[in-house]
Amino acid sequence: MAQNAKITVHPAYKIGEISNRLFSAFLEPIGTMVNGTMFNPKHPTADEQGFRKDWIEALKETGLPAVRMPGGNFVSAWEWKNSIGPKSERRVVLDPAWHQYYTNEVGHDEYLQWAQKVGTEPLYTVNMGTGTIQDAMDLVEYTNHEGGSYWSDLRKKYGHEDPYNVKMWYLGNEMDGPWQLGSWSKNPDGYGYKVLETSKAIKWIDETIETAVCGSSAPFMEGFPEWDQNALDKCYDVVDYVSVHHYHSAPPGDIKALLGGALYYEDFINTEVAMIDYVASKHRSPKQVNISFDEYGAMVRPLQPLNPGYGRYNMARNHYRFDPERRYIRHDPDNMPERRFPGGDMLHALSMASIQLALLRHADRVKIGCMTGGLGALAASDHDHIWKSGSHYVFMQLLQYAKGVSLDTKVECEIYDMPGYAIEDTSQYTGKEGVNFIDSASAWDEENKRLTVFVINRNEESEYPLTIDLKGFEGYKPAAAYRMHTDDLELNNSFENEKLIAPKEEENYTFENGEFKLHVKPLSWNVYVFEA
């Protein structure tokens, strides 16, 4: 038996308000995500627009707050004007980002109408690669203006009388990346000035909206955080968020590195917050710009050979290569290959949950979080069926219980060290010492007198006796306790059995003198709810 672990929560340890958008998702037409999962006119459940109603209904039941769309790398060469009006008149175009033909059958209106059917808020990404300021102005006018102008009346003509009232607009995607069409990787000042003028212009069209400027696409970027600082410095007064992305990678079999990846997210967030506040001080501004972490994920990747002399942070050369054998792909929505994350549901659920807890611990400044793969996590799919993966249950418990304010959750437990490693030249991780085996965050819904403590045990082998000290929450008692655990890490939920990996009620606990005690299983997800 491992040594005792202890978590202390107290109402005085407030971090910040938890935004309703913190646990959201991201959608981009990669592979069959749009043409197949979202849109398939031949599917038995297809509605009059060709959308799969089984997927819509499954997502609608989750109460998913928001989805960032329509990209991603895709959007940096997408001309939205090609995607409106009668489908028979729309252009089929090349999508250089993903080397695919894009039919525009799912166009600007369809994305927003799909979001309405799901009951989720669209967070819209604007083409700032090949797109112009005028394109962005026309887009917001078409989307949000009530009528009486060319673009708003064109929306009415095409069948949508009322404005869509999209409130959140991302001004570009990963504009520091050399892989991006119209990249600003070598000119953050120019990008910042373009954002300044674009954000100003579209806010003059609709002064209720919010905008985000792109920050770094990863903490490994050659210009991080100077690129972010230079871009934000030019447009601080007219934007509301800095948009950042990161995908954590761990070597095969290294579960400690996979689940410890949350620490690199926290380093990234802390650096970005410091940069933002430095720029605010330069501008003598009382305004607080926050963070939108609108693409994130964790994955297992094999170690690649390193190239001597390549340069640790130099990503550019990797993206200026051209393969004469490469061909464009035409995706058939009705020929949808099965796609699954490698490995079982449990590790995938834990790896994503560890990142979500990191975002929750920074709820004072991270106000939007969009999980890449979040739609599939909530409603897994193949050509014929929809089901609940293990990640579904974790995501749903965060949506249900992570309300109110985030609390600084003090953890005392056994620790481990993560040696540094390099997946390849551009994904090199410094080591971490003193990583907690017990990962935790908590949320206090003061209005409804409910406290929730979320716990992950990162240890592959050891069960921990755990004490949660609630003495500061006088009158609170256990209301529910859940544990998700399996001894077989290769198990996956399926349409036939979607509860193979799912939370079960935990009954073996004690509560006395403000201390909640129980044991947490190895590699488990745990949720403890207390109410007054």
**Catalytic positions:** 174, 295
Secondary structure, 3-state, 26-67: ECCCCCCCCECCCECCCCCCECCCCEEHHHHHHHHHHCCCEE
Place of tokens 């083409």: 127
Residue 355 near residue 265, CB atoms below 8 Å: yes
| DSSP-assigned states of every residue in 248-264 | EEE-TT-HHHHHTTHHH
H-helix or E-strand containing 271?
helix 262-282
Spatial distance between the Cα atoms of 307 and 317, rounded to a whole number of angstroms = 12
Give the three-state DSSP class for 304: coil
Task: Kindly report the backbone phi and psi dihedral angles of residue 263, in degrees, each rounded to the nearest multiple of 5, phi listed first.
Answer: -65, -35
How many C-beta atoms surround the C-beta of residue 226 within 10 A?
Answer: 13
Beta bridge partners, 366, equal 291
Strands (E), 304-404: 366-372, 380-381, 386-387
In the chain, how long is the greatest CA-to-CA distance? 72
Angstrom CA distances, 50 to 3, 12, 87, 136, 375, stand at 56, 51, 12, 28, 18
Buried/exposed 280-315: b ≥16 CB within 10 Å, e otherwise = beeeeeeeebbbbbbbbbbbbeeeeeeeeeeeebeb
List C-alpha distances in Å: 306 to 124, 179, 250. Answer: 37, 20, 16
Structure-token match 């992950």, residue found:
456
Listed residue (454, 464, 470, 450) closest to 528, CA to CA: 454
Q: Using CA atoms, how far apart are residues 298 and 246, in angstroms rounded to an integer?
A: 9
Residues with Cβ within 8 Å of residue 54, at least 6 apart in sequence: 43, 45, 385, 386
Length of the chain in terms of residues written: 532
Angle at which helices 390-401 and 345-361 cross, to 10°: 20
Cα–Cα distance list, 120 to 171, 218, 411 (Å): 21, 27, 35
- Tokens encoding 378: 């909530």
Nearest to 125 by CA among 190, 87, 78: 78
